[in-house]
Chains A and B, each alone.
Chain A
Amino acid sequence: MTAGTLMPYDEALDRFEPVLGLETHVELGTKSKMFCGCKTTFGAPPNTQVCPTCLAFPGALPVANAAAIESTIRIGLALNCSIAEWCRFARKNYFYPDMPKNYQISQYDEPLCFDGYLDVEVEGKTVRIEIERVHLEEDTGKSTHVGGATGRIHGADYSIVDYNRAGIPLVEIVTKPIPGTDRLAPEVAKAYVTELREVMRSLGVSDVRMEEGSLRCDVNVSLMPRGSSEWGTRTETKNVNSLRSVERAVRSEIERQAAVLAAGGKIVQETRHFHEDTGGTTSGRSKEEAQDYRYFPEPDLVPIAPDRGWVAELKAGLPELPSVKRKRLQAEWGLSDLDMQAMHNADAIELVEATVAVGAPAADARKWWMGELARRSNETSTPLADLPITPEQIARVTELVASGALNDKLAREVLEGVMAGEGTPDEVVESRGLKIVNDEGELSAIIDQVLADNADAAEKVRSGKIAAAGALVGGVMRASKGKADAARARQLILEKLGVQE
């Protein structure tokens, strides 16, 4: 593991232009595996979701999962791809314990979907990412490396393997090389993976959780000197397990390659590993192990020839795609590009939409999700969607505020109570005693006390300096612990002092 020198990003970009490529793997959310009936539940005890087929016992034969084929075609259609009229699975041969068959069933020169694109928004600009291919394969087992200092494969004494994941349908989405992103390369890479994740979510084909590995990304980067048109040698960085890491991996690889090239060195075409802790990459498999997979058509599975009518049906049945939906919601909610982008970045759009769907006005729903709840999300490093509060509960709080039962300050306390597990908004209002003081007698008594305690201010108001009433309203709010209706309190104060607005 060598740390290596880096060139500062700005300098690297002054001298070189990056070309990107992204390979994304998405585990499909089918009930059963790609070629057998084993379950696909994440986190099950080791080797409890395995059978003769996915363990490659002699004589066991694969049969393709219809739902996985359908999901892959829908992904291809959502990414504006052509769908193959006829294609085959292929055997990718390699001897490695993560696949008990000693090959992976994949697709080679005949992907199910090809030649598409996905548009992403970066800093107000639309960048079209061309999609080379979308193909279907099976996931591998999970190895744990035992012994050695680091728990890594290098220096391990031996490994132990759980095949629960082996055979789960895996869709690989490969972009064409992406030139011309210039300084925005890291942001474009991140925006692409983000958008892809949303497309998958809208299709309902995968839970796309990067932290659980159901969405994984390999980042290819090469540099060419400014003014050159010949692309440089690329590296492929694996182990990039969060959206933020996608951005960091591109940035750090640009800085590393620039330093190597500037010092007169050569970039080695290799696999590199991203390290979450340092934000850098290190060299992976050595180049002597140049891949030689000896692909050939999978003899155990017959070709796939998707019926054109069926493909047309699937296309017609696609949901509204995220970018289209964002434009529609932006218009409906009357938001600026900037506000919409902020909501997009905060992953708040779906939550606001869901809150509006259960009756909250859009402005209120947005105010809470992007204000109080976004703050909580940041403080606790919890994604907005994982906060212990539901759109229905937010909608109820906005309803209580609209009806005058709560003001914003009390509403914040209600949200806090709900997130602390104290029950529904109504239960929190009840148990914490957060209702606005609507009882005129109670409010009147509080005001009388405040007027008595602030005789000077009261006198000023009485003599016509109505501006001084603000301090008295403030006093009432303090005395009521924020539970008074400020507007009503002001009305009553002026009444009692015999003046009018």
Chain B
Amino acid sequence: MSAITRDEVAHLARLSRLALTDDELDHYATQLDQIIESVAKVSEVAADDVPPSSHALPLTNVFRADEVRQSLTPDQALSGAPAVEDDRFRVPRILGEEA
């Protein structure tokens, strides 16, 4: 019984806007399955008295003061953009025709 199905990988790819070929789907499904199984080994040693943890550091309440800092210039901000128009990031059509 695999930890993740090929259909689930296809679903995730769709949500992530990734166009995967059939071969790639097979490939990633196998890889992800192995990763999930490896990570699941942690639960074998976690006893009932060990609560699930989301953070490695025993810290809470790390805040910054509400102070303004220098931003980038638009030129700097847009320097890595594949396409720019009117000082804005230009992106391909968001919804397809039939949507």
CB–CB A39/B68 < 8 A: yes
Q: Report the separation of the CA atoms of residues A2 and B57 in the bound assembly, to the nearest whole angstrom.
A: 54
CB–CB A49/B94 < 8 A: no
Q: Report the separation of the CA atoms of residues A70 and B1 in the bound assembly, to the nearest whole angstrom.
A: 48
CB–CB B66/A52 < 8 A: no
CB–CB B60/A160 < 8 A: no
CB–CB B68/A47 < 8 A: no
Known: A64-B62, A95-B16. A158 touches B74 (CB 8 A): no
Number of interface residues of A (CB under 8 A): 62
A213 in the interface, Cβ–Cβ < 8 Å?
no
Could you say which residues of chain B place their CB within 8 Å of the CB of A159? 90-91, 93-94
Could you say which residues of chain A place their CB within 8 Å of the CB of B17? 95
A69 (CB) vs chain B CBs: closest residue = B63
CB–CB B64/A48 < 8 A: no
Considering residues B17, B59, B60, which has the most beta carbons from chain A within 10 angstroms of its beta carbon? B60
CB–CB A304/B66 < 8 A: no
Could you say which residues of chain B place their CB within 8 Å of the CB of A296? 54
The stretch that binds B, out of A148-156, A272-280, A407-415, A453-461, is: A148-156
Q: Report the separation of the CA atoms of residues A217 and B60 in the bound assembly, to the nearest whole angstrom.
A: 32
CB–CB B88/A37 < 8 A: no
Which of A48-80 touch B at CB < 8 Å? Answer: 48-52, 55, 63-69
CB–CB A299/B55 < 8 A: yes
List the count of A-B residue pairs having beta carbons below 8 Å apart: 139
B19 in the interface, Cβ–Cβ < 8 Å?
no
B15 (CB) vs chain A CBs: closest residue = A292
Q: Report the separation of the CA atoms of residues A349 and B53 in the bound assembly, to the nearest whole angstrom.
A: 50
Report the contact-size class of chain B (Cβ under 8 Å from the partner).
Answer: 35 or more
B95 in the interface, Cβ–Cβ < 8 Å?
yes
B48 in the interface, Cβ–Cβ < 8 Å?
no
Contact of A65 (CB < 8 Å), options: B60, B66, B74: B66
Could you say which residues of chain B place their CB within 8 Å of the CB of A30? 66
CB–CB B63/A51 < 8 A: no
CB–CB B67/A37 < 8 A: yes
B21 in the interface, Cβ–Cβ < 8 Å?
no
A384 in the interface, Cβ–Cβ < 8 Å?
no
Which of B33-76 touch A at CB < 8 Å? Answer: 54-55, 57, 59-74
By DSSP majority rule, is chain B's interface helix, strand, loop, or mixed? loop
A42 in the interface, Cβ–Cβ < 8 Å?
no
Query: Distance (Å) between the CB of B78 and the closest chain A CB?
Result: 6
Query: Distance (Å) between the CB of B71 and the closest chain A CB?
Result: 5
CB–CB B94/A156 < 8 A: yes
Could you say which residues of chain A place their CB within 8 Å of the CB of B89? 47, 97, 100, 160-161, 163
Which of B7-38 touch A at CB < 8 Å? Answer: 11, 15-17
CB–CB B54/A158 < 8 A: no
CB–CB B88/A144 < 8 A: yes
Q: Report the separation of the CA atoms of residues A194 and B11 in the bound assembly, to the nearest whole angstrom.
A: 42
Contact of A47 (CB < 8 Å), options: B11, B60, B67, B78: B78
CB–CB B73/A143 < 8 A: no
CB–CB B64/A66 < 8 A: yes
CB–CB A48/B74 < 8 A: yes
Could you say which residues of chain A place their CB within 8 Å of the CB of B67? 31-32, 37
A333 in the interface, Cβ–Cβ < 8 Å?
no
Could you say which residues of chain B place their CB within 8 Å of the CB of A153? 94-95
Query: Distance (Å) between the CB of A268 and the closest chain B CB?
Result: 15
Could you say which residues of chain B place their CB within 8 Å of the CB of A299? 54-55
B86 (CB) vs chain A CBs: closest residue = A160
A303 in the interface, Cβ–Cβ < 8 Å?
yes
CB–CB B66/A156 < 8 A: no
Considering residues B66, B87, B94, B97, which has the most beta carbons from chain A within 10 angstroms of its beta carbon? B66
A51-B69, A159-B94 known, 10 other contacts, Cβ within 8 Å:
A39-B68, A66-B63, A66-B65, A67-B66, A102-B16, A143-B91, A156-B94, A163-B77, A163-B89, A302-B55
Closest 3 pairs (CB-CB, A-B): A37-B69, A67-B66, A297-B54
Give residues in B with beta carbon < 8 Å to A: 11, 15-17, 54-55, 57, 59-74, 77-78, 85-95, 97, 99
* 7 A-B contact pairs sorted by A residue (CB < 8 Å): A31-B66, A32-B67, A47-B87, A69-B63, A146-B85, A160-B86, A299-B54
